[in-house]
Homo-oligomer: A and B are copies of this chain.
Amino acid sequence: MEEILPWRVKSLHRPEKLWRMNGSLRGRKREGSEDRTPKKRFSEVQKERREQAQRTVLIHCPNKISEKKFLKYLSQHGSINNHFFYESFGLYAVVEFCQKESVASLQNGTRTPSMGTEAAIPFRSRCFNLKLKNPSNQTSEQPCVSRSNQSPPSSKKLFELLCDAESIDDQLNTLLKEFQLTEENTKLRYFTCSLIEDIAAAYFPDCAVRPFGSSVNGFGKLGCDLDMFLDLDDIGKVKEHKTLGNFLVEFQVKNVPSERIATQKILSVIGECLDHFGPGCVGVQKILNARCPLVRFSHQASGFQCDLTTNNRIALKSSELLYIYGALDSRVRALVFSIRCWARAHSLTSSIPGAWITNFSLTMMVIFFLQRRSPPILPTLDYLKSLADAEDKCIIEGHNCTFVCDLNRIKPSGNTETLELLLKEFFEYFGNFAFNKNSINIRQGKEQNKPETSPLHIQNPFETSLNISKNVSQSQLQKFVDLARESAWILHQEGNDHPSPSNSQLWGLATLLLPSVAKNMSQAKRKRKKPASERVKNLLESIKSSSTENPTNTSGTRTVSTQA
């Protein structure tokens, strides 16, 4: 029991509430900074965010706008809880009212535009255009409203930030801070789901459109796709059943031969609505014959590429599990973000489906690695299950997805290793992992014999007979192993050779993000002598050229000089 119950030590790490990480975290000593604020359950966060989103409107504004006048104008419809501006195709404002009724008030005071030669589809949503009656009235000397950033940093910017960091720990935290979803971006994601919910709720009043995956699991990066599903589970649940007499009333409905066909039909109609009515919904594709039927579209105003599916409860439960793992210890997300960024820089992952390792697989590998530390940084899934009470019980499609939902019941780890050490050890661990015979399994937190012959075997945590990395080819796995070894070697070579803060040279994590195809070790050493800005420029060019190559071809051309 000692081995799998190592969370007796009090929390030493403060996972940021709702994934915001502020600058003060940088370089902060983790030891001693205890935080006893109760952590919110995933379901609480989801519920709160959804309710916020339902009170929220999106307003396309003129570029020159007085924030004060804008807020005064909207306050006619009720108090405003929260607002921010951002830049997309023009300037947008996201305004969250305190009361849902304010949205209706705004809608009632809003007209459908009369077009000139064109015609409008007079659809009423929560997306508005704000116009100036007399544009010249707003002087050009208006102070610009501050715009919240919705994009990840450019590569150039990232390298600069990493070089300016104080330590490798600081580098990992900086990368996390720059790439993770901001509070505003998260709000925008829930709001976008809520717009789609309005469309679906027109016909299925008790439905919900829930984001899942990277938008909510704590591991989403700015710019990542928005996955959402239409949850019809609460439909047909009778609120108050009048049972007088011998009668029973049911809705007359269309019957179809299977749940799948029902799903396809519902998605098909929602797809039509989005395509024909949804303001700013473009590129609507109905991919209804896929294993999991979906509607894909771009939501222009928010800039999100969206995938709408139905019945994805198991995916939502996976998101919750990752949320918990990410929230338990602040090192988890920092390490995962850096490993993913490293993998992307070396074309180990790709935005197109194929033989590449996925971000989900990489995350599972990090979690597994952190379960293997001594003392462990993360508990096993079986341990989380053992903490579950009756209310946590969850069986989906025959799979036991039960684990404790209350994060406060999980004791924090006593492990105090630095991110720098963990990064090095991660590369060493997987550079030496016996992928040929062992399976990665976060349920038990132990290497298991592979039940099948796929090059990489990572057990699906809920559908345990499945391998989440079945798609990975031997050559892609080998590439991963080679790069892990190379990276471990680079970190080893660098040793304690951190430059002083004023000396902005490539070092630490930044070095690992250089594509190996464009360098060998001696070159990397030599480049250090050049001014950082010039080297960054060259490196960016090489990243650009390497990312256009086919990664399966480049994997064979690399010289691997290290063995751990």
Which A residues contact B (CB, under 8 angstroms)? 58-60, 69-70, 72-73, 76-77, 106-115, 117-125, 127-134, 137-138, 199, 202-205, 232, 235-242, 244-262, 265-266, 268-269, 272-273, 276-280, 301
Q: Are B247 and A131 in contact (CB under 8 A)?
A: yes
Chain B residues near A255: list those with CB within 8 A: 115, 118-121
Q: How far is the CA of A106 from the CA of B112 in the complex (A)?
A: 34
Assess whether B280 is in contact with A276, with CB atoms less than 8 Å apart. no
Evaluate contact between A241 and B109: CB separation under 8 angstroms: yes
Known: A76-B244, A130-B247. A253 touches B279 (CB 8 A): yes
Residue of B nearest to A76 (CB): B242
In the docked arrangement, what's the CA distance between A153 and B112, Å?
Answer: 49
Given A118-B256, A268-B276, A248-B109 contact (CB < 8 Å):
no
Closest beta carbon of chain B to A115's beta carbon, Å: 6
Copies in the complex: 2
Contact between chains at B112 and A245 (CB < 8 Å): no
Q: Is the CB of A242 within 8 A of B202?
A: no
Report how far A58 CA is from B249 CA in the complex, Å.
12
Query: Are A252 and B280 in contact, with the CB atoms below 8 A?
Result: yes
Are A129 and B265 within 8 A (Cβ)? Answer: no
In the docked arrangement, what's the CA distance between A110 and B106, Å?
A: 33
Residues of B within 8 A of A137 (CB): 246
Docked-complex contact A251 and B129, CB < 8 angstroms: yes
Q: Which residues of chain B have C-beta atoms less than 8 A from A128's C-beta?
A: 249-252
A128 to B236, CA, bound (A): 13
The answer for the CA separation of A249 and B113 in the assembled complex, in Å, is 9
A72-B245 contact given A250-B112, A251-B110, CB 8 Å threshold:
yes
Pair B276/A242 contact, Cβ less than 8 Å? no
Q: Given A73-B245, A121-B253, verify A111-B272 contact (CB < 8 Å).
A: no
CB-CB nearest in chain B for A106: B249
- Could you say which residues of chain B place their CB within 8 Å of the CB of A58? 252
| Interface residue from B120, B251, B258 paired with A119 (Cβ < 8 Å) | B258
Q: Select from chain B the residue with minimum beta-carbon distance to A235.
A: B122
Neighbouring B residues of A124 by C-beta, 8 Å = 203-205, 235, 251
Write out the residue numbers on chain B whose beta carbons fall within 8 Å of the beta carbon of A236: 111-112, 114, 122
* B239 adjacent to A108 (CB under 8 Å): yes
Contacts of A235 in B (CB 8 A): 112, 122, 124
Q: Are B110 and A238 interface neighbours, CB within 8 A? A: yes
Are A73 and B108 in contact, CB atoms less than 8 angstroms apart? Answer: no
Contacts of A241 in B (CB 8 A): 109, 111
Bound complex: CA A220 to CA B158 (Å): 75
Docked CA distance A205–B122 (Å): 10
Nearest opposing residue in chain B for A236, CB measure: B112
Q: How far is the CA of A332 from the CA of B555 in the complex (A)?
A: 89
Q: Check if B266 sits within 8 Å of A269, measured CB to CB.
A: no
Between A and B, 5 residue pairs with Cβ closer than 8 Å are A69-B245, A108-B239, A119-B255, A121-B254, A122-B236
Given contacts A58-B252, A109-B242, A122-B235, 5 further A-B pairs with CB under 8 A are A59-B249, A119-B256, A120-B255, A121-B253, A130-B248
- Give bound CA distance, A259 to B76, whole Å: 34
Q: Would you give the shortest CB distance from A133 to chain B, in whole angstroms?
A: 5
Which one of B129, B205, B254 lies within 8 Å of A252 (CB-CB)?
Answer: B129
